[in-house]
């Protein structure tokens, strides 16, 4: 119901209260009665306004305001004014009917009012009692002209016995039904979810007390009408206080409702911690727990959409959304045609639309971040795999070039060299002229130099010693050829994958080359050790330091190659402190 409509209802109930109080004062009612009567009725109206303002989707607001308005109907009974007295007495106590409906609704929010026959039976019993008082009773006739009661203009029969039967029977039925309403409310609340039980127990207690008061009053009417005696004879002012105590039990309902709303608002978690938690590193695994805390519903389940109409629970099971018959409510997150997730929660959570309106956008943003992070991880894995494939392909291409050079151009050059040697041997005879021998000797020397250069190029592409003997001998060979003394420490218990060995070899070679060319070092140290499925490299010198990988492509290329294989490369090269290159490569 719209808030504006509820405000109009509250304004009408307040105006009715003012008119009732004015009529009571004009009729000579005691001031304390008028004050207590007004406060009691208006407490319902105030609670109804509060309920409508903070819970516009809940029926509690209109029901509380209706209870407040109906409270003042019975106040016209003692005024002894024509028509008003008859109507006030005939239709008093209908606030107990609205309170019974309110108790049943609030004891299990979100569920349909299944005991509808119970409400209809109670309304029917009250209607029968009203009909008996309206059409079968005339106090002016029963009590005589001196009673002060005005005549009943609606009476169609004034049979005291028939009236007593109707009054006693209807009140007895009402008393029984009020007891049943209280029991049903208790049982429904006990079987409801955690959210409802936590926030509604004040309403449960107050509603049960109100139904107790309604039961007592109905039974008292039935007993006094049937026996013409009171249930309990009490002397003034105890009887007066007891009557008001029975009325006061109804006031506990709006007070308890306000207390329950305040408890629920305190119980739910704030949005700021929710947003902070969902932005944390473990947000994906604990997202459901964060939402449960924020909404104050420990029974909440967070389901993620699978895209094929099914849903994935937090424990990995594939589940379906629950139906309305399960007593659970479902709130989807995302667009209606393609939701990203669904919250399966206690129906009482729906009574907090402003909280849901705050939680859902934060959750939607967290789910979107989770999706983007998953996509980014997938892309990163694809890029890493692609770079690893590129490194592997480069290594394979290096080996192919080595084989082609060895099996092709190098072999042909060797064959030419042999032929030239034969020609030089023939030219060495006495008949060959000296210039020809000299020319053949020069050509043979030049060809031998070309073969040496080609072999050096092949070794640079992939050293044969690395392929046949492993990383240790290959590094030792680098140290022997270096122009500075190099200390070598290699602890590799077995052969490593070819791509790891070649990457480690060229990392050491590049770092040692920089030491010889730029560091001005007098000593260098090389370490290669296998530790916990990783190859740990360290190349250090005592040179001038100041190496900057940004100024050259060699170290940058090594870093790219390391990263492609899942390794790391760090350079410590402070000025005057030498240079240390550290690398770590996974060997699996």
Q: What is the DSSP string of 355-368?
A: HHHHHHHHHHHHHH
Residues 3-21 have a mean pLDDT of 91
Where is average pLDDT lowest: 345-354, 398-407, 454-463?
A: 454-463
Please check whether residue 190 is in contact with residue 205, taking contact to mean a CB–CB distance below 8 angstroms. no
CA 382 to chain centre: 29
pLDDT tops 90 at residue 254: no
Burial of 456 (0-12, 13-18, 19+ CB in 10 A): exposed
**How confident is residue 9, by pLDDT bands cut at 50, 70 and 90?**
very high
Q: Are strands 568-572 and 534-541 parallel, antiparallel or unpaired?
A: unpaired
- What span, in angstroms and rounded, lies between the C-alpha atoms of 582 and 575? 17
Residue matched to tokens 């509604």: 200
- What span, in angstroms and rounded, lies between the C-alpha atoms of 377 and 90? 75
Q: Which residues contact 550 (CB under 8 A, 6 or more apart)?
A: 556
Mean pLDDT in the chain? 79
Please give the full DSSP string across 38-50, using - where no structure is assigned: HHHHHHHHHHHHH
Structure-token pair, residue 158: 């004034």
- What span, in angstroms and rounded, lies between the C-alpha atoms of 525 and 182? 89
- What span, in angstroms and rounded, lies between the C-alpha atoms of 362 and 183? 41
The Cα-based distances of 507 to 98, 321, 392, 551, 554 in angstroms read 85, 57, 16, 17, 9
pLDDT tops 70 at residue 152: yes
Q: How many CA atoms lie within 13 A of 359 on its CB side?
A: 27
pLDDT, greater one: 153 or 239: 153
pLDDT tens digits along 113-140: 455 788 899 999 999 999 999 998 877 6
- In our burial notation (b when 16+ CB lie closer than 10 A, e otherwise), range 63-99 reads bbbbbbbbbbbbbbbebebeebbbbbbbbbbbbbbbb
Peptide bond into 237 cis (omega under 30): yes
Residues 234-257 have a mean pLDDT of 72
- pLDDT score for 268: 46
- What span, in angstroms and rounded, lies between the C-alpha atoms of 103 and 182? 8
pLDDT tops 50 at residue 95: yes
Phi, psi of 544 (to 5 degrees): -80, -15
Please check whether residue 509 is in contact with residue 478, taking contact to mean a CB–CB distance below 8 angstroms. yes
Residues 257-266 have a mean pLDDT of 63
Q: Which of 241-245, 461-465, 530-534 has the highest mean pLDDT?
A: 530-534
The Cα-based distances of 474 to 57, 403, 469, 528, 530 in angstroms read 80, 19, 7, 12, 16
Please give the full DSSP string across 330-351, using - where no structure is assigned: EEEEE-SSSEEEEEEE-GGGGG
The Cα diameter of the chain in Å comes to 174
- What span, in angstroms and rounded, lies between the C-alpha atoms of 46 and 61? 9
Strands laid side by side in the 311-312 sheet: 318-319, 311-312, 301-305, 339-345, 329-334
Where is average pLDDT lowest: 143-147, 218-222, 388-392, 567-571?
A: 143-147
pLDDT tens digits along 13-24: 999 999 999 999
pLDDT tens digits along 431-447: 666 666 676 676 677 67
CA 317 to chain centre: 18
Bridge partners (DSSP) listed for residue 528: 490, 537
**How confident is residue 167, by pLDDT bands cut at 50, 70 and 90?**
very high
Q: pTM for the complete prediction?
A: 0.55
Residues 248-253 have a mean pLDDT of 75
**How confident is residue 502, by pLDDT bands cut at 50, 70 and 90?**
confident
| Length of the chain measured in residues | 588
Residue matched to tokens 């064959």: 415
R_g over Cα of the chain: 48
pLDDT tops 60 at residue 390: yes
CA 41 to chain centre: 42
Strands laid side by side in the 579-586 sheet: 486-491, 524-531, 534-541, 579-586, 568-572
pLDDT tens digits along 343-379: 888 777 776 666 777 788 878 887 777 777 777 887 7
Where is average pLDDT lowest: 257-271, 367-381, 481-495?
A: 257-271
Residues 516-533 have a mean pLDDT of 88
Where is average pLDDT lowest: 142-156, 300-314, 337-351?
A: 142-156
Q: Are strands 524-531 and 311-312 parallel, antiparallel or unpaired?
A: unpaired
pLDDT tops 60 at residue 456: no
Contacts 24+ apart (CB under 8 A), 403-406: 405/454, 405/457, 405/458, 405/461, 406/458
pLDDT tens digits along 541-568: 998 888 776 665 566 667 777 777 788 8
Q: How many CA atoms lie within 13 A of 358 on its CB side?
A: 14
Residue matched to tokens 């407040």: 68
pLDDT tops 60 at residue 457: no
């Amino acid at each position: 119901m719209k808030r504006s409509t509820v405000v109009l209802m509250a304004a009408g109930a307040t105006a009715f209260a003012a008119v009732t109080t004015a009529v009571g004062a004009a009729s000579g009612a005691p001031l304390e009665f008028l004050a207590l009567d007004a406060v009691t009725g208006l407490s319902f109206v105030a609670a109804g306004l509060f309920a409508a303002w903070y819970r516009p989707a809940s029926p509690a607001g209109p029901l509380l305001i209706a209870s407040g308005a109906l409270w003042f109907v019975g106040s016209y009974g003692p005024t002894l004014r024509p028509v008003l007295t008859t109507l006030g007495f005939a239709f008093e106590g209908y606030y107990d009917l609205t309170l019974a409906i309110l108790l049943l609704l609030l004891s299990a929010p979100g569920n349909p009012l299944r005991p509808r026959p119970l409400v209809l039976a109670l309304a029917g019993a009250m209607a029968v009692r009203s009909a008996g008082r309206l059409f079968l009773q005339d106090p002016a006739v029963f009590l005589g002209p001196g009673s002060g009661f005005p005549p009943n203009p609606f009476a169609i029969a004034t049979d005291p016995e028939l009236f007593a039967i109707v009054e006693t029977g209807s009140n007895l039925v009402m008393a029984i039904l009020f007891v049943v309403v209280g029991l049903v409310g208790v049982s429904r609340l006990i079987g409801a979810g955690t959210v409802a039980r936590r926030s509604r127990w004040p309403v449960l207690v107050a509603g049960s007390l109100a139904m107790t008061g309604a039961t007592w009053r109905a039974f008292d009417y039935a007993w006094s009408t049937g026996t013409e005696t009171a249930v309990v004879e009490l002397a003034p002012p105890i009887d007066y206080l007891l009557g008001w105590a029975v009325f006061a039990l109804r006031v506990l309902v709006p007070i308890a409702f306000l207390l329950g709303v305040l408890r629920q608002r305190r119980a739910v978690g704030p949005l700021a911690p929710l947003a902070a938690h969902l932005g944390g590193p473990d947000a994906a695994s604990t997202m459901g727990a964060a939402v449960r805390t924020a909404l104050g519903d420990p029974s909440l389940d967070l389901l993620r959409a699978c895209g094929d109409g099914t849903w994935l629970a937090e424990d990995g099971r594939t589940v379906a959304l629950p139906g309305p018959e399960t007593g659970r409510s479902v709130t989807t997150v995302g667009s209606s045609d393609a939701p990203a997730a669904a919250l399966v929660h206690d129906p009482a959570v729906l009574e907090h639309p402003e909280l849901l309106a705050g939680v859902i956008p934060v959750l939607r943003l967290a789910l979107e971040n989770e999706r983007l992070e998953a996509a980014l991880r997938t892309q990163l894995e694809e890029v890493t795999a692609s770079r690893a494939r590129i490194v592997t392909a480069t290594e394979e291409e290096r080996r192919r070039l080595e084989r082609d050079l060895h099996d092709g151009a190098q072999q042909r050059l060797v064959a030419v060299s042999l032929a030239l040697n034969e020609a030089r041997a023939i030219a060495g005879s006495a008949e060959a002229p000296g210039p020809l021998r000299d020319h053949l000797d020069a050509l043979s020397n030049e060809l031998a130099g070309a073969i040496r250069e080609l072999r050096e190029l092949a070794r640079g592409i992939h050293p044969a010693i690395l392929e046949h003997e492993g990383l240790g001998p290959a590094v030792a060979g680098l140290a022997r050829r270096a122009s500075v003394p190099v200390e070598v420490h290699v602890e590799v218990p077995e052969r490593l994958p070819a791509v790891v060995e070649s990457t480690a070899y060229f990392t050491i070679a590049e770092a040692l080359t920089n030491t010889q060319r730029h560091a001005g070092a007098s000593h260098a140290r090389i370490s290669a050790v296998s530790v916990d499925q990783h190859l740990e490299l360290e190349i250090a010198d005592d040179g001038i330091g100041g190496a900057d990988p940004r100024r050259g492509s060699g170290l940058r290329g090594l870093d790219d190659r390391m990263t492609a294989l899942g390794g790391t490369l760090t350079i410590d090269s402070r000025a005057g402190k030498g240079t240390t290159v550290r690398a770590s490569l996974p060997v699996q």
